[in-house]
Amino acid sequence: MSRIAKRLYRTSGRTTLQAVGELNQFLVADDEDNLRRVLTAQLQHDGYEVHCGADGEAVMKAMAEHHIDVLITDLRMPKLDGMQVLKMVSE
**Res 20 pLDDT > 60:** no
pLDDT of residue 88: 87
Q: Is 52 exposed, middle or buried (0-12, 13-18, 19+ CB in 10 A)?
A: middle
Q: Is residue 25's pLDDT more than 70? A: yes
The overall average pLDDT reported for the chain is 81
**What's the predicted TM-score (pTM) here?**
0.72
